[in-house]
Structure 1
């Protein structure tokens, strides 16, 4: 099999996406060549698209975005020919770690210092993303989809993995009273995993009421709270923390029906990264509880650390995922047994082909579409 030409959606600058022709070699001995069929747009993709950077990470060369993907095997490397065949439908885990360092050896490869992650500009040369018609990828990071799992669900397995990892890091157990802040895709998937973990009560909150309604109407959460948009009187930290305390009171009173003294949450999953939400999370958590920091927001934030320390509220970081794909596929393959809600509903908007990629990114940047429907996950299909 000789090199072939493929199409790729390549970012050259702020909102400068171009469809280009690239060539792809035959897959290596331990690789698969995959036709990418479904790719979800992630928040980090949007940051790169709108700012040509993601926080402190700057794009330094043309970059194909996309990392939430599934596809169909087209060619198989010589060392994996017995495990995969052309036509297999697979989910793609896009982070390639070194497999040698102490973190990798301990199973925590998600925080490997040598990690190469598709569509991230952190490593250089950049590891090109999945908005390409074909990619070569290590076979050990590709997972066959059962007949009952769609290609779109295979793509959603990537953000679902973030939720799986967060719930594992929280060491949840059945019967907990939990709060999810942020009813976007990751927040909804976190709530879905808390349903699997048999949380006694799942509350989800967001400033966008239509997202909250989606969560409760589709079985992701038991209680939904539309948090009022409020601004501090001044930028002084005292005024900002006062707003966070008021927000925590709204959350806990809605949780109880009045008295907030006994209604703090066992665990809060903070999925926004917004400073005010992280602050409110600390105030809304029980003594001895935990705040799971999932959302990637402003790098430097002012937090009421003493309110956490004096009540032994743990602040636990969550970054991507490790060893989650096989478990996620088990949940998707047998939803009745696992109790996983229908996560395919999170893919609210679909676009087809490379010519629609820019429109897909524009849609992903809006909280609701022209018909007033919430925009949760935009998927591009090929």
Structure 2
């Protein structure tokens, strides 16, 4: 199939009318024989609620190598943050791991209270910056507790915050400034794995580009693995080595950024790509993903996208689906992929 162009691309003229921000498909293949930083194997997670059991994640398989940036893409409610909290060990007590495991450098890890080696090795940028900062501590003190007081000003400069803000409290900062302080906190402990959950929310385009360039530089220089959690497929395509697409708690497609961004094989990934605004489109031309996410407390079909899919066939409901290789390093969980 012919892939849909991302913003700034003009395939007809063979030129780019606006270069995307960040790295442009600068993929670094994983070194053969290198121990993976993170492996998520067959992970299923459930939450006990008053309405019933929420089947939040269903048999997730994901891995990240040193220096690799993996984008986790999907609409709100698809389970991206649940997976990131599971990796960080920050799941609510109502959560239960129904199956599978999470491995760190090959060793199984458990909840945060049982961890030792990963407490500073895994850092997370949270979606809500104000909730992740201590309201009664200055920026200088919060950064100093993590990275040392001598690095506070340089960390603030890296995320484009005036060093004079170091003695301010979070309530004296804007939402975008709080977001950048949260990014500085995460990067200050020099993690082996950075989980960036919507890290550019509330940032202007210039600062967004600077933050993504900083993450990319740390990834290349220090071998920092990164999981970029976002609903922005264009942002992931411009900055990630691989992209994993999640829908209603299931991974439906995973592959190299360039392949997935231009030629997705799963119908959900194709709809996500089609919803990316184009320069030539008006508001009336904007497209959305059809239907709604299923109720995760009710009976669920083997493919949770089936009620929204225009390629649905009876055999889609026959048995559980799993990611299947369609080309080298490109995996799809669909019996009727776009190919």
Could you tell me the TM-score, scaled by structure 1's length? 0.23
Could you tell me the TM-score, scaled by structure 2's length? 0.25
Q: Which has the higher contact order (CA 8 A, sep 6+)?
A: 2
